[in-house]
Structure 1
Amino acid sequence: MNKLVSSIAQQNPIKWFRKIRGFRLVYTPLLAIVIFTAVMGVILGTLQLQEKHQQEAAIFRELSFAKQRIQLRMINNSETLSAISRDYVSGYDQVKIKESAVDQAIHMVASNHEIAKVIWLSPSRQIQWQVPAVNTKKEALDRYQSTPDVEKALQRTVNLSLETNRPAFSQFIPLESNSENTGSKDVRNVFWEVIPNPGADNSNGIFAVLYTTQGLLGMIPSELKAMYRFTLIADEEKVIAISSDKNTPRRALSNQTTLDMGAFSPNLTLRIDSYPPPTNVTFRMLIAVTLGLSAFVIWSLWSVLKQMQVRQEAEANLRKETSFRNAMENSTPVGIRAHDMEKRITYVNRAFCEMTGWSSEELMGLAPPFEFWPDSRKDELSEKMNEAFLSSFSSENKIGIEGMIVRRDGAQIHTRTFISPLINEKGIQTGWVASLIDISEPKKIREELVASQDRFVTVMEGLDAAVSVVSIDKGELLFANRFYREHFGEGATGHFQLAGGEPEQNSMRELGEELNDFDQTIPPSYLLQEAESEEIELPGVTNTWYEVRRRFIPWVDGHLAQILIATDITERKHADDISRQQDERMQFTSRLTTMGEMASSLAHELNQPLSAISNYCMGVVKRLQGYSDPAIEKDILPALEKASEQAHRAATIIQRIRGFVKRSEPQRQSTDIALIINDAVGLVEIEAHRQRLSITSNVATDLPMVELDPVLILQVLVNLLKNALDSVRDVYPLSSRWSAPPVTISADLDTGSFPATLRIQVTDAGSGIPENIIERMYEPFFSTKNDGMGMGLNICRSIVESHHGRLWAKNHMDAEHTKMIGCTFTILLPIDSPDSERAIANA
């Protein structure tokens, strides 16, 4: 056979080679199919193994969840009974305590299906009472509860619990019945739990609970029991409870764990078995693999046929292209040379030989640095060439690299080289092809133009003013420096804005049309005309000012253009504004100083008459206390005491305001904020009723005591409530105030920040506060009322901030967000005083 093959190969080697290549093309798809099948088998096995691991992890997670649920329920039951026992033992009124304990036990049995019965045993271990007293739903427990096994198990558990003073469990007790209707799966196995009284005082009695094993499985959610079967197993693999009688398939997964319910609980194991749903993943995967293999075979055969046709056409085209390229390379004036992967020259055309003065034989095999490079630039040109070879695939190579060639006669030629990778028919790079163009003359002209342009651009770009030139006839931007582009963009819009806007643009167009109508040179008067320097603020840009100068000039194309120079003078304008604002602040400071002096004088002058009023009132009270008239004790004495108290409070308020003027700290004390709110509402309610309005308060319960100055905070709340009443009064006329919503004051804890703060809010349904006023309403002497001094909200904010708190206002909008329907003032006060915080920080 080997001789026959060798003889055929010797007679027609080309035909034999084609047959070998044909066999290779035929067997390639078969090999691909085999590899593809093996890979798919590995993938299927991996997916199946991964699915099994995920199912095992899910079973373990659900088993752990069920175990924790049962243990937590048992612990919760024990703690609940311990609490009931503690209250039952420590109570004085045994009748009421017993009724409460029985009610709690009834509620516990009703809400916990695993509990069959709760028993209270006397010190002599006799049943004093039990829940339920008459069992209707679980009659099997009542019938078998008095069996010897159940009673013995109860006695042993009680002894164990009393000896250890800890909850104890009995062993599992199977219930048997001679009747088919008395037995029930729910109560087939039971066990006792005895819970001693806290503090080891069991002289008054002890609790015992009868659990059903099937009830333990009832603690597991029904969703899990629908997906898995749960089983309780005692010692020696004895099944004492099961969630379902449905059998699990052979391929079902299972897991189990020990269920520990206490220190003396019996050995109990919780087992889980899965019900895996039926699936046809394997069948579908087989179908997908079959279809994929079939498609792959068809595509492979079609590719082989097309490839053979393409190769035959490529061979013919390659011969034609080779002839064409040879003719083109010999006729082109562009020098071409080729390099191999070691950068040696492997080919040069005739133009390159003429460009260097070297023959092709002399150039073949040369490696960089080449002999036709200048000696002073060989290192530079070698580095450029290496970089070009590395980046020959990128778009940066399209611009080429500049170089230099020294002819044999010593003449230097500036060149631009373009390099491309040389790829063979297999798609593998075998070298590079470089094309060179003589750029000596264009380079000289370009360098002169670049030098002139650089001088001009350097001067214009360095100016700190906007310079722009606009065509008169077309209105196009002809030139703009850096400052103009950064501030006005690339268009001519900024030029016309600086020049005066649309009128200036229209006048320039009319001037261009007049010049086009007359065939004459540009009048010199236009070139000499220059506008006065003017200051312009751009429309739509606040606080941006420019000093603008403009004139007409002839442009490089002979047409008339307008040049404009704009200098930014915003800083100078801002300096003038700051100086004016400083003068206004000095005036405000002077008024505040005068007001502080007036406040100190008023405080001093008013304290004496207020003290006298308080003393006179208290003196009259003492004089009237000797009379036994009921009318005096009921009406006159309380009124005089309240008058004295209000006089004292007014003096205290004045004293606090005087302290604020002197920048003194508020006098804090532990205060109930509910009392302050009630006082504020009581003081303002008289005015509210007079205006036919109402006030409601909503104070959260169990608010902590807060360290604050009660008098100053009361003054703040009174001021805010009065402002809210004024806002509602302005919206609702007197005839319709019966329908006005009440002003609401509320207090609660703001837990959105840490630490929590006390939040007080005053809400009204008035017209809200305009945005331009809400920014200035805390300024001194600013008021929207005709008779207001503008110090109310300023003092309120000062009081709140002196308590290290915050005060702000927020408007309420209607559903369409078109109209304000009220406002809310919010106060945040720290619960802990700053002194305690500093003490904690220092500690």
Structure 2
Amino acid sequence: MPLPPYLDAKNRPRLAPVARLRFWWKAQTGQRQDRFAMLTPLAAVMLFLLVILSAFAYLRFEEIAREREAIQRDVEYTQQRLRLRLLEQQEQLMRFARELAARELSTDDFLVRAEAFANLFAEVQSLRWIDDKYQTRANYDPNGALIGASSKDALIRREAEETSNNFQLVRDVLLPIYSSPLKDPRGPSLVQLHLPLIDKTHFKGDLLVTYSVDAMFRYGVPDEVTSKYAISFLDGQSQLLAGTSLLEKTLKRRILPWANPVNAYQVPLSPVGNGLSLRGQAYRTSVGVIGSGLFWLVMILSAATAWLLVANWRHTRRRIQAQDALVQETAFRRAMENSMLTGMRALDMQGQITYVNNAFCQMTGWAEGELVGQTAPFPYWPKEDHDMLRGRLKEELSGQIAPSGLQFRVQRKSGELLEARLYVSPLIDAFGQQTGWMTSMTDITEPTRVREQLAASHERFTAVLEALDASISVAPLGSNELLFANKLYRLWFGAEAQGHLQLVAEAGVPALAHSDETQDTVDVFAGLPTDHLSEKEAESAEIYLGSLGRWLEVRTRYMGWVDGRLAQMVIATDITVRRLAEEQAEVQAQRAQASSRLITMGEMASSVAHELNQPLTAINNYCNGMVSRIKGDNITQDELLGALEKTGRQAHRAGQIIQRIRSFVKRSEPNRTIASVATMVAEALELAEIELRRRNVKLTQYVAPNLPNVMVDPILIEQVLLNLLKNAAESIDIAQKPTALRLIKLRVAPALVEDKPVIEFRVTDSGDGIAPEVMDKVYEAFYSTKTDGMGIGLSLCRSIVESHLGRMKAENIYNGSTSIGCCFTFWIPNPDPLSAPPAQRPKQPVFQVPP
């Protein structure tokens, strides 16, 4: 008979293991099937017999194990009783030994106490008092002999040697020691206990106690244990010292190898140990007649079962013939149900459901009985989609459904909706006739949800990019194609890539030229790290774009596009407002500098007037004197020339004062030039001396010789230095220091700050210093410790110094816990420390010369 298509050779690898076994079974002949059908129950009977025998053996082994546990428990109990008895005796003997060590007992007292102890404990054979010289002081031995008559000399020698060795050992360790058992073939076996006699950590001798092993057995082993087990004491060579022992092999064991072996358990006898052990052996029980009876009963039952199997075989053959007729009918349905993972539904030509598989029922939530026989509208159709689905059903029955399938909604029995895709194919029977339509349905709810989430995520991402106040564009390298542009980019540059290329060019980012790779064997992008482009730092530049009239901050970076091409992303941010704010802030800073200079000159107005009054008064006096003498005609030409020269010098001096003040106050743009440090200090001091003289403050200065020139704005540096000197003078004046302490020190010298060469300016005053709570606020704008101060002096000074890449700091000078002044220091970078003479090059420390 030919095999059905789903069981032919080419489809065989796709079958499940159960289906493969069924296929193999169907491929066998009837005779072989009968043979296998007969062998299988027989194998089951043999397995049953094996299980019974295994269970019997297991129960027997369990019985033996319980016996072993019982003997182990009883032997350990016996060992514990012996141990406690020996420890009790050892404790009393140690008290006896302490009295001997303390010399509280005489020889007679020793014998009396030893006799009482031996009477109390029958296993004690003798007690012997040995001093530290190994001389016997007293010996209690009621038996008169320690061993039997035979081989007495040999055993005496062995005992003496053992006693001597143990005496040496107990003298070394100062602890109780048990000897190895001394076995006498015709007498009792003995064990010695050596107890050290110690007086204040000094060894005074040995108390030797001799035990009889046989007495230890008779008085130490409980009767209830000896009634159940053969208890024996063994030495290190497993030789019997006392007790009883069973033979390992008996007649029963030789006849029945599976008979119960002798259960035995052996443990060391504590605290003796040292080769003495306790062994217990269980007495044998019955041969196992009950077990043999069970075995034959199992054999009889197995034979009866085999006979029943023969009768069952004939009945099985008749059942197999009846089942063959059902195999072909159910093979198709089982194969389809077991192999298909998608929902399957069969419709007849009129649109009635004739079959659904388990996957379809699980997908819709309806049982097979609730679906088979139903016509449109089907239970799993949503009510709002009935009209649409009826039209789809007509197309399905007419064969007009596209091969790509139909997507529609399915309503579960619980009311939950899911998205499904339906594929339709004609259902052809075994005679080649179409009997209906077979549809396969797949649940696509999760893929649809993921696709919708991706679309929503893309929409949100695009909305964010469109709403950014920065222009974003992406273009591939070597091409004029624009891959992406947000709303602001399109507003500025349109939809072309020219704006992207213009931003890249204006930002100064080198672009790769386009090349025809068909004409070159080397890829133009070879060597670029396309796998890690997103981890590279973005390049940034600020440019002014005339076409837009805006300042833009342009950042570019390379990235791998979704299609694998290498692209360049450009982000352009409008920073016009920030640039205007920076320019306005710079203008305000210049105005603040000019205002500070005007305020400083306003405060120095009276002193300047006093300075100008001196040369003007001298000029007036010279002129009046010359007029008077000319009228009196009593002046010579040389005297007239001398007076005119002096008048000219005074006028020049007044002009210098006015010119210096005008150049300081005059508002001008920052002009950094190469300036001399000594010249800047001299010009600042020339203006500061007026204020210092007015406040009666003395200035000492140290300017290192041959200082290098620096690139600064000299007017601004002079303003900083003048402000610090003026503040120092005011601090001294406010502190009301005496004349001898009204002192300011100025020091200008090269130094090293953070391993960088600088020119250090240090102004130290002798005022009261700055309060600690104010120290952190002195540089804040509009904060002043003076009642009439504006609070912009030090803030402006620090801004000027930092604009020259320098730093400023202030610190108090203490004498103990009292502040005796303040020191302001600022640094200006030294452009070329090696340009100075070798003697003036910065070292560590730079200068040690006091100011």
TM exceeds 0.5? no
- Larger Cα-atom Rg: 2
Q: TM-score, normalised by structure 2?
A: 0.30
